[in-house]
Amino acid sequence: IPRFVTDKPWRCYETHVLAGYTSICSLPQVSLRVQSGTCYNHVCGGVLIKTNWVLTTAQCVSGIAVSLVVLGEHDLTASERKEQFFGVSAIYIHPSWNSDLTAGNDIALIRLTSNAILNSYVQLATLPSAGQILSGNTACYVTGWGVTQNGGFLSAQLRQASLPSVDYATCSSSTWWGAVVKTSMICAGGAGTAAGCSGDGGGPLNCVVGGRYVVHGLTSFVYSGGCNTIRKPTVFTRVSAYLSWMQGITG
């Protein structure tokens, strides 16, 4: 049974990667926020793909009033003077998206109100080539501010965990995810240790390809019986399946 990995905000300015470790800006990503009173609460992750465009999942912006995008973030509870804050100019959800997780198309674009300034803390994601498929057991890393244990609290600090990719034939087999997983998705993990979890939705799966980190996936869903269930790896939207749609919007 799949479940979303988007968490509704619970605490002001508090928002993880299961069994991961703190990431000191090694794989920069963005924090999407919704306003609650005078606070802006983290709900999802994403990645900067152009200086004024952010890539995330549809579940993160469908029916959720994301109004603030924070770049260069590490600790959600502290001002580290590295952050850049932006409003939302427009949101584009994939036209074939619906709330049925098994249908796929969990992808969306956010246009920022102005351009980001690139530096060592704010960087553009490297995207895969169109249609590129990862081989099994590729070194990949999930990052986010999600929960660090099942049923736990959201992490204040950005964390990352190693999640080797799982090939489609294995992940779609009957003893793994079965027909729930589509070719437009990527699986990673499944060993019963590390995983993406609640609060990590929309964040990137960075995989080492050609000696560099490439964003091959966006965290989409996990197993409802436990994020780190054996043979139920974290499932990601496969970015390489949507490059033409993305380019048609961002130019």
Note the pTM of the prediction, 2 decimals: 0.90
In this predicted model, what pLDDT tens digit does every residue of 69-97 receive, in sequence order?
Answer: 999 998 888 888 899 999 999 999 999 99
Q: Which long-range contacts (CB under 8 A, 24 or more apart) does 175-182 make?
A: 175/231, 176/231, 176/232, 176/233, 177/232, 177/233, 177/235, 179/102, 180/2, 180/101, 180/102, 180/235, 181/235, 182/102, 182/103, 182/104
In this predicted model, what pLDDT tens digit does every residue of 208-243 receive, in sequence order?
Answer: 999 999 999 999 999 989 998 999 999 999 999 999
Look at residue 95 in the predicted model and tell me its pLDDT.
Answer: 97
Q: How far apart are CA 234 and CA 142, in angstroms?
A: 9
The verdict on residue 56 lying in a domain is: yes
The verdict on residue 3 lying in a domain is: no
The verdict on residue 117 lying in a domain is: yes
Look at residue 102 in the predicted model and tell me its pLDDT.
Answer: 81
Task: List the CATH number of the domain containing 43.
Answer: 2.40.10.10
Look at residue 167 in the predicted model and tell me its pLDDT.
Answer: 98
The verdict on residue 33 lying in a domain is: yes
Q: How many CA atoms lie within 13 A of 215 on its CB side?
A: 26
The confidence band for 1, taking pLDDT boundaries of 50, 70 and 90, is: very low
The verdict on residue 147 lying in a domain is: no
Count up the domains in the chain and report the number.
Answer: 1
The verdict on residue 233 lying in a domain is: no
The verdict on residue 157 lying in a domain is: no
Range of the structural domain that residue 85 is part of: 28-124+243-250
In this predicted model, what pLDDT tens digit does every residue of 17-57 receive, in sequence order?
Answer: 554 444 444 577 899 999 988 889 999 999 999 999 999 99
